[in-house]
Structure 1
């Protein structure tokens, strides 16, 4: 991520922001001074947040797997590229804060996400997964992905045990014994 400022006469800045030919508009969005300041305040502790993000995702993946859910997370022992990922990842940061849970059908995935968002306040349904709160999205099956695949970006708000309890409540509320594998 690059952060900077454009300073100069109003005519120069305005020409750069022209919707059709302006360099700033063609190269990506620009941020106002307030957003730039807020970003600068958060950068010093980004490393701490990322460590917690990854730690919680790993813990959720392990616990979900123990419940019999179909979980995809690069840090799990059964992930086919675990060794490659370990060789590439920073040791102290883990293997990412994103995980997937396959509920097999879109209806079950949507029902779980509904319970997670509206009943337990575990997180929010969203298409963008970059936020400090837990976010989840059900991907389409147009490219061969299971219609029940839920992508989760595990947040770092609240305690791990609080979030886990919310997830368990949502699963029990579904009252669907077929949620869990029989393996």
Structure 2
């Protein structure tokens, strides 16, 4: 059975009423027959039928043992880091999402957890920085925002040989294109705000555990910390997942078309998209993501400046300047001043997040319309660069 079919039929109908949609159990507590005797639920922080349906669904899609839904993607990341103790170490991808960097550096480093960053596209780099204190390897693949692709299977082998957990942020690919647990990862996280929800109308996060042991630990952390996803937002994510396969197919098609167009533009020094044959990790991406390469495209402007990037991101008409990604409407952002502004400039640039880098989330509009929008914005960037050059000469 194909994934798109399994996806739809993994969403349960209501056994009590026959409702085809998962009911929204908007309740804080559940009646008990006697102390400790209930119908499977006692308090909504500990469990809710709507949230449980979402958690089971994402676990099925990711080939995991169990899923856990949280109030945001960062809350999901936070739950995974709580598996560690003071004195432990995380090895993380160098161009890590700015929110994760802020959490790691300004919360958990202060609490005694060390973080080492490296270019994980070469598995040997990961092996080289492991120490006896390393307890977790943190990957984004593809990464945010430079679309680096790491060899999950190779890094999983290194992790297992060293008794280290491997967690993969699979937000950009979604389980339609990539399932890290099948490649050897222990844990998968998603910002369900993005492709899983798919409509830019909610904030949510999901963690999927690959084993019963990890599931038990994460369940305890979810209940003890309390950062759970509410029933209505759980319902919205389930509704979004129903069209996930169809949406991702279109995101991939338009993303590749946009990337190929941008590749030929003189105002752009580099296009970051794993589906392009000149992407340094294209072969790995083709193996790990056989269904496509996603809808995120990043570009480095030839004029590597905040000024040119600002002119570009404020000149598009269809692409809207906003945080986030993965929705039906195309978005773009300037990571240096938006998503990654909490990362020190030197570290950000060393990881490839330059001042002139722009991240595009290619939506569900007609690809040709998006290309025309980008063309007119690039023309304005060229005019601006020429005007500055004339002033400089004068």
Q: 2:43 aligns with which of 2, 13, 22?
A: 13
Are residues 1:121 and 2:323 paired?
no
Q: 1:153 deviation in Å?
A: 1.4
For 1:54-93, what aligned pairs fall within 5 Å after superposition? 54-68=252-266, 69=268, 70-90=270-290, 93=291
Match 2:330 to one of 121, 125, 134: 134
1:176 to 373, 383, 386: 383
CA drift of 1:51 comes to 1.0
Distance 2:329 2:246 in 1: 15
5+ residue gaps, structure 1, are: none
Distance 1:41 1:87 in 2: 30
Alignment gaps of 5+ in structure 2: 1-10, 12-21, 33-41, 48-220, 337-344, 387-394
What is the aligned partner in structure 1 of residue 367 from structure 2?
160
Root-mean-square deviation over aligned CA pairs: 3.1
- How big is the shift at 1:8? 4.1
- Which structure features the higher share of strand residues? 2
1:61 counterpart SS class: helix
Greater CA radius of gyration, 1 or 2?
Answer: 2
Q: Give me the whole-angstrom Cα distance separating, in 1, the residues matched to 2:44 and 2:246.
A: 38
SS at match of 1:176: helix
The higher relative CO (CA closer than 8 Å, separation ≥ 6) is in 1
SS at match of 1:58: helix
Instruction: With the length of structure 2 as denominator, give the TM-score of the two structures.
Output: 0.37
In terms of fraction of residues, the more helix-rich structure is 1
With normalisation by structure 1, the TM-score equals 0.75
- The aligned length equals 166
